[in-house]
Structure 1
Amino acid sequence: MGLIGSLILGAIAGFIASKIMNESSGTLKNIILGVVGGFVGGFVFGLLDLNASGLIGRLIISVVGACICIWGGRKLF
């Protein structure tokens, strides 16, 4: 997946995570949250020895990771 595809997937994942966690955020924050969430989710799923393939699998991992990031941000601030 190219850079543009990753940013679009990140924006979608960040948007979904912000709705799940009842967080109001802008488009740029959603993109950043989704991309970072993809890394966090990949790390967490790797620790659990789980993996997902395909677009839907990456989206689920990114959403879970973004939710973890929102939760962690709430705990820190």
Structure 2
Amino acid sequence: MQDAQIGWIAAIIIGGLAGWIASGLMKSDTGIFMNIVLGIIGAAIASFIFSFMGVGFGGWIGYLVAGIIGACILIWGARAVRS
């Protein structure tokens, strides 16, 4: 069985959207570049964390959900380190 993969362009678009949603949820003021970074790295982190619980994210919607959750975790972690 092969996992659903998305391309680089789709990862940037979905990552930007996920980062934008997460920054809105967490009331964080980040720019478009940081939103993309938060979304992409957040998706990787959330996928890694949830893989230990046996939860898998696949496809566009799964990547978006993982990106939002992961970006929120990253924003929370950055705030914890700063304060």
5+ residue gaps, structure 1, are: none
TM-score (norm 2): 0.87
Match of 1:69 in 2: 74
The Cα RMSD (Å) is 0.9
Number of aligned residues: 77
Match of 2:27 in 1: 22
- Deviates further, 50-59 or 26-35: 50-59
* Structure showing the higher helix proportion among its residues: 1
TM-score (norm 1): 0.93
Taking the TM superposition and a 5 Å limit, the aligned residue runs for 1:40-59 are 40-59=45-64
Q: d(CA) in 1 for partners of 2:67 and 2:54?
A: 16
Larger Rg: 2
Q: Which runs of 4+ in 1 moved over 6 A?
A: none
5+ residue gaps, structure 2, are: 1-5
Q: Aligned to 1:11, what secondary structure does the other structure show?
A: helix
